[in-house]
C-alpha cells in the first residue's frame, strides 16, 4: 500500500517535469498573417509570425516554463552577427615643408571589403557613402576586388558608410583615423529582412487536452488562440 501511495503522489510531479512538445498555429485571414509557436525538447521554443505572401518574419526564441496550465515564454537574444572592421595597419602621417595641409586633419584609408565569412566581396554593387553631419555628400565605388582608397585633407567628411547589394551597411566614424595612413578589412553580414524579439516574457493558457495555447494579457484576459497543428518547419 505504501508503494502504491508513493507512485500515485509522484505521478503529478512527473507530468509537470516533462516538456510539452508540439506546433501551435494561429491564422489571421483578415491580415493574411500566420503566427506560430513551436515547443521543443528541453523546454525550448521558437515563435514566428509573418505575412502569408510576404518576405521577412518576426522571430523569437528562448525557453519556457510551465506552472499547472500556464506556459510562460522567456525570450532570449539571437546574438546575430553584425558587420565590423579590423585594422590591419595604422601609421602616423608626418608633415613636410612642401605640404601646407595639417596632417592631423588628413585621412588616408585603404579598405578591403569581405563577407562575414572572410571571403572577398567582389561586386560592382559595393559602395562607400561619404557622410557629413549625418547627411549624404557623395558615393565612391570599390573595384572588382572589393577594394577602395579614400583620402582627404579636410574635415568635411566625418563618416563612411560601406554597403553592398544584399548586405547590411556598416558606418565608420573617421575621428580615430585622422592623422594616420590606415589599412582596414571590412566584414559585411548578409542582409536580414526579419525582425527579432530579444527579451521579455509572454504567458499562455494551455487547454486540458493540450490542443490549444491561448495568449494571456497582463490583466489575465484571454487573447488569440493557437491551435496545435502538423506544421513541421
Q: Where would I find the beta strands (DSSP E) of 93-176?
A: 107-115, 126-132, 135-141, 147-152, 159-164, 170-173
The yes/no answer on whether domain 20-78+193-229 falls in CATH 2.40.128 is yes
Model confidence over 98-149: pLDDT tens digits? 566 678 889 999 999 999 888 999 887 899 999 999 999 999 999 988 999 9
Residue ranges per structural domain of the chain: 20-78+193-229, 84-188
pLDDT score of 56: 66
CATH class in words for 84-188 = mainly beta
Residue 231: pLDDT band (50, 70, 90) is: low
The confidence score (pLDDT) of residue 78 equals: 87
Q: Which residue has the higher pLDDT, 5 or 90?
A: 90
Strands (E), the chain: 22-28, 33-39, 44-51, 58-67, 70-75, 84-92, 107-115, 126-132, 135-141, 147-152, 159-164, 170-173, 180-188, 195-197, 201-206, 212-216, 222-229
- pLDDT of 204 reads 97
What is the percentage of the chain residues whose pLDDT exceeds 70?
87
> Has residue 53 got a pLDDT over 80?
no
Q: What is the pTM of this model?
A: 0.70
Amino acid at each position: 500500500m505504501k508503494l502504491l501511495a508513493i507512485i500515485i503522489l509522484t505521478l503529478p510531479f512527473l507530468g509537470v517535469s516533462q516538456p510539452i512538445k508540439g506546433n501551435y498555429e494561429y491564422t489571421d485571414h483578415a491580415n493574411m498573417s500566420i503566427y506560430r509557436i513551436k515547443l521543443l525538447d528541453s523546454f525550448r521554443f521558437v515563435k514566428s509570425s509573418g505575412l502569408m505572401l510576404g518576405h521577412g518574419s518576426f522571430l523569437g526564441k528562448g525557453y519556457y516554463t510551465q506552472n499547472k496550465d500556464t506556459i510562460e515564454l522567456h525570450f532570449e537574444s539571437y546574438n546575430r552577427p553584425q558587420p565590423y572592421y579590423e585594422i590591419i595597419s595604422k601609421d602616423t602621417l608626418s608633415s613636410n615643408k612642401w605640404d601646407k595641409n595639417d596632417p592631423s586633419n588628413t585621412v588616408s584609408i585603404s579598405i578591403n571589403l569581405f563577407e562575414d565569412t572572410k571571403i572577398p566581396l567582389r561586386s560592382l554593387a559595393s559602395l562607400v557613402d561619404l557622410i557629413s553631419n549625418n547627411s549624404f555628400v557623395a558615393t565612391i565605388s570599390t573595384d572588382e576586388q572589393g577594394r577602395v582608397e579614400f583620402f582627404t585633407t579636410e574635415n568635411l567628411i566625418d563618416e563612411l558608410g560601406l554597403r553592398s547589394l544584399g548586405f547590411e551597411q556598416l558606418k565608420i566614424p573617421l575621428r580615430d583615423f585622422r592623422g594616420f595612413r590606415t589599412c582596414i578589412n571590412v566584414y559585411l553580414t548578409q542582409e536580414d529582412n526579419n525582425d527579432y524579439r530579444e527579451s521579455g516574457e509572454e504567458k499562455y493558457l494551455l487547454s486540458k487536452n493540450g490542443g490549444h495555447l491561448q495568449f494571456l494579457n497582463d490583466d489575465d484576459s484571454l487573447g488569440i488562440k493557437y491551435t496545435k497543428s502538423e506544421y513541421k518547419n
